[in-house]
């Protein structure tokens, strides 16, 4: 019963974010069995060691439960070479990360290791177990601090010719628009994101001191939750801010729809959790802008796996091999 062959197989996933490293063990049905979290450490070497320690910790946890870890996956911001595990593109949030080989963090643990971009992990998880199940093509978009995007085409994660595909946050929606940290101008995420919403809300509060908003602040702080609460009370300013975000997001997504014509758009992130009506607002904007033939077959749906999609997706990297 307890011979290694009969051990219960689990998959280890590590999801490196801007602030937290989430890591855990997932079963073959995509269920998270163990979930841990730690603040991301600064510095290339230190962070690589943190990932290594987290992987080792998961092995020890599994061993204690008499489980066998069959595979490790790491999701990271930036472009990641899926063939080699090397970080190829910079991420604004983690400096000096280019060149790190994420497959090496688990050298010596004796199981296959895979690494991919974090938004690709989210797309994979939604494709296997969430809102993009049983569909051939989907764009999975997470609106958070910025906008993450992962593409499913022909039933697989589509990584592009140099592992950089899916970056819907960095398509230009305003030709001569705001400068983005990526070097481009007028990127979608400069207009739609938690960052952008809070910035716009602050500007609005400064301009419009009479607004009854103060009652919606959370401990005096402006948050997405506070804006959503105000919108639920039909506060005009909050509704206008959210409408504007929906209009920009709709324009960006309509561009993607006209270019890729996916079966599904899967939307997730802070906005939708705080203000579910946002999904309908975005749908309306897409219908206004995208080709009728493409919209007719399009389903715009809420992501199902929430904050842990990245971890689950990471654990399932390489599942098809």
Query: Which residues are near a copy of itself by CB under 8 A?
Result: 79, 88-90, 136-137, 149, 151, 153-154, 158-168, 170-175, 177, 182-186, 191, 247-248, 251-252, 254-256, 258-263, 288-294, 296-298
What crossing angle do the helices spanning 224-232 and 236-260 adopt, rounded to 10°? 110
Q: Write out the two tokens for 108.
A: 């010596």
The least distance separating a copy of itself from the CB of residue 300, rounded to whole angstroms, comes to 13
The least distance separating a copy of itself from the CB of residue 299, rounded to whole angstroms, comes to 10
Backbone angles phi, psi at 279, to 5 degrees: -60, -45
The least distance separating a copy of itself from the CB of residue 257, rounded to whole angstroms, comes to 8
The least distance separating a copy of itself from the CB of residue 147, rounded to whole angstroms, comes to 11
Q: Which is nearer to a copy of itself, 10 or 300 (by Cβ)? A: 300
Q: Which is nearer to a copy of itself, 167 or 308 (by Cβ)? A: 167
Helix (H/G/I), strand (E/B), else coil: 22: strand
Q: Which is nearer to a copy of itself, 163 or 216 (by Cβ)? A: 163
Of 239, 308, 310, 247, residue with least CA distance to 275: 239
Backbone angles phi, psi at 145, to 5 degrees: -55, -45
Q: Which is nearer to a copy of itself, 56 or 182 (by Cβ)? A: 182
Quote the CA–CA distance of 302 and 142 in Å, as a whole number: 10
Q: Which is nearer to a copy of itself, 166 or 268 (by Cβ)? A: 166
Q: Which is nearer to a copy of itself, 75 or 149 (by Cβ)? A: 149
- Provide Rg for the chain, Cα atoms: 20
Q: Write out the two tokens for 170.
A: 């960095």
The least distance separating a copy of itself from the CB of residue 248, rounded to whole angstroms, comes to 7
Q: Are strands 67-76 and 113-117 parallel, antiparallel or unpaired?
A: parallel
The least distance separating a copy of itself from the CB of residue 312, rounded to whole angstroms, comes to 24
CB 24 within 8 A of CB 34: yes
Distances (CA, A) of 113 to 35, 52, 71, 77, 180: 19, 12, 6, 17, 33
């Amino acid at each position: 019963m307890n011979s290694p062959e009969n051990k219960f197989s689990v998959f280890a996933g590590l999801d490196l974010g801007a602030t937290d490293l989430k890591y855990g063990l997932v079963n073959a049905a995509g269920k998270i069995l163990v979930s841990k979290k730690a603040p991301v450490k600064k510095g290339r070497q230190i962070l690589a060691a943190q990932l290594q320690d987290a992987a080792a910790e998961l092995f020890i946890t599994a061993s204690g439960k008499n489980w066998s870890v069959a595979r490790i996956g790491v999701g990271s911001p930036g472009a990641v070479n899926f063939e080699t595990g090397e970080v190829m593109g910079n991420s604004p949030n983690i400096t000096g990360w280019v060149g790190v080989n994420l497959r090496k963090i688990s050298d010596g643990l004796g199981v296959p290791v895979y690494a991919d971009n974090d938004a690709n992990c989210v797309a994979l998880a939604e494709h296997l177990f969430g809102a993009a199940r049983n569909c051939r093509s989907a764009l999975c978009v997470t609106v958070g601090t910025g906008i993450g995007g992962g593409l499913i085409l022909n039933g697989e994660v589509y990584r592009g010719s140099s592992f950089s595909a899916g970056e819907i946050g960095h398509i230009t929606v305003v030709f001569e628009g705001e400068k983005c940290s990526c070097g481009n101008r007028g990127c979608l995420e400069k207009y739609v994101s938690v960052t952008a919403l809070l910035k716009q809300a602050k500007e609005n509060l400064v301009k419009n001191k009479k607004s009854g908003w103060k009652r919606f602040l959370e401990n005096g702080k402006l948050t997405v939750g506070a804006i959503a609460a105000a919108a639920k009370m039909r506060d005009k300013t909050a509704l206008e801010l959210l409408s504007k975000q929906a209009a920009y997001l709709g324009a960006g997504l309509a561009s993607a729809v006209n270019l890729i014509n996916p079966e599904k758009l899967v939307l997730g992130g802070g906005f939708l959790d705080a203000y579910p009506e946002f999904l309908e607002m975005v749908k309306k904007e897409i219908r206004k802008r995208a080709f009728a033939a493409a919209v007719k077959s399009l389903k715009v749906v809420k992501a199902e796996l929430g904050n842990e999609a990245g971890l689950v997706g990471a654990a399932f990297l390489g599942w098809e091999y």
